[in-house]
Structure 1
Amino acid sequence: MKSWISKAAVGIAMIVALPILAHADSWQIDPAHTNVEFSVRHMMISNVKGQFQKTSGTVDVNGKDPTSAKIDATIDATSINTRVDKRDAHLKSPAFLDVDKFPTITFKSTKVEVDGPGKWKVTGDLTLHGVTKPVVLEVEGTGAPINDPMGNTRAGASATTKIKRSDFGLTWNQPLEAGGVMVGDEVAISIDVEAIKK
């Protein structure tokens, strides 16, 4: 049920491409090598994890200044996968993501700040379940860009953040007899992005 949060993470996966910004003007996320994962507390005793399997987006930068980066990412909310079909169907329903009404999750950056060697703080607007809220991503580069066997230039990065699903109108829950609730409010998001120079 924490999937909903993941979506939020959603669009942010693009921030992971920041390290490549200092080397080119325009990059495109490689969906086949990009992961957007999320984790949510279940019944107060364990964490349930899931991912979104379809992510796309671009990163554009002026010159060699990473702080000028403009990140635009989209996550297909219908691609949520927690390895349990019944749970995935619940997460896609109006009780959570309501994917028929809100089929995508998006992230658009508004500010990029250096946060140490190879690290950045990326602030942007996350739109999830029809609600837009600012989020901050902690981004770290994974090394210098490389050339693949097909002649493409590739770069990667990782990012993390936490959001509250209730901030995005995702409030479904169920009380437990022993106290507490079925699903936690805080969602931890982890993103690994690989991008290709256009």
Structure 2
Amino acid sequence: MRNRHQIIAFIFAFIGSTFAFGQTSKVVSGATNFKVKYVLGTCEGTFDAPKGEAVFNEKSPENASFDIEIAANTFKTGNNSRDKDMKSDKYFYIEKYPNIHFKSTKVEKKNGKYEATGKLTIRDVTKTVTLPFDAKKNADGGYALSSTFEVNRLDYKVGTKDWKLKDVVTVDLKAVIR
């Protein structure tokens, strides 16, 4: 009888710790927007929403993790010629590198803001980056996550140095996880 109570207590403790540390969730919706300055102004565009998995609980951010991808072939600026060029081997080379990938190695809360440090891979280049993000709990128990960060496109071999196009791209990433 005592062993049965110990087993039941262990099961409840295990289930409780799973909820305390966070559950694996899927990215169910979101948006990926970007902007980069060029000689005629600012080019704005989108990729489809990120896809992937996330473990997050605001009470234990140190146990969080993210593994998300963005399909590079969903690049859109509203200019078909530019979009086709950006998908070519000169820029994203989507035939060979179809996804942009981020996998966290550490998540923490600093000064009231969350930060996810991990590996960002674009084309065949992987670099360690730290992405700041906000998290708001939804009524359904999921989270709305948002991050705005900058990426130097040249660090990832997306194009070459060009006086007409700035090197730094601002990315605004939103994801709803459930």
Go from structure 1 to structure 2 and tell me whether the alpha carbon gap of 1:63 and 1:140 turns closer, same or farther (over 3 Å shift): closer
| 1:130-157, Cα deviation, whole Å (9 max, x unpaired) | 110111111112x32212xxxxx43202
Structure 1 counterpart SS, 2:176: strand
Q: Aligned equivalents of 1:25 and 1:187: distance in 2?
A: 32
| 2:170 counterpart of 1:188 | yes
The alpha-carbon distance between structure 1 residues 99 and 191, as it changes in their structure 2 partners (threshold 3 A), is same
| Residues 16-95 of structure 1 mapped to structure 2, 5 A cutoff | 24-30=22-28, 33-43=29-39, 46-61=41-56, 64-95=59-90
Q: Secondary structure at the match of 1:100?
A: coil
1:140 pairs with 2:122 = no
Q: Which has the higher contact order (CA 8 A, sep 6+)?
A: 1
What residue is the counterpart of 1:9 in the other structure?
none
Q: Distance in 2 between matches of 1:81 and 1:171?
A: 16
- How big is the shift at 1:41? 1.0
- Distance in 2 (CA, whole Å) between partners of 1:36 and 1:114 is 23
One-letter amino acid of the counterpart of residue 52, structure 1: F
Opposite residue 74 of structure 1, the aligned amino acid is E
The number of aligned residues is: 160
1:168 lines up with 2:161 in the alignment: no
Q: Is the 8 A contact 1:166 1:185 kept in 2?
A: yes
| Residue 96 of structure 1, CA deviation | 0.4
SS at match of 1:94: coil
Kept in 2: contact 1:131–1:169 (CA 8 A) = yes
In the superposition, the TM-score normalised over structure 1's length comes to: 0.74
Partner residue of 2:101? Answer: 106
TM-score (norm 2): 0.82
| Percent of aligned positions that are identical | 28
The residue number in structure 2 matching 1:3 is none
**Cα 1:52–1:187 shift into 2, 3 Å:** same
Structure 1 Cα separation of the partners of residues 33 and 57 of structure 2: 30
TM-superposed deviation, 1:63: 9.9
Unmatched segments (≥5 aa) in structure 1: 1-20, 148-152, 175-180
**In structure 1, distance between residues paired with 2:175 and 2:57:** 20
Deviations 1:28-61 (A, max 9, x none): 101xx30111111111x52111111142111125
Structure 2 unpaired stretches of 5+: 1-18
2-structure distance, mates of 1:63, 1:194: 14
Partner of 2:9: none
Query: Residues 57-112 of structure 1: CA distance to partner in whole angstroms, max 9, x if unpaired?
Result: 11125894111111100111011111111111000001100100111110000111
Cα RMSD, aligned residues only: 2.1
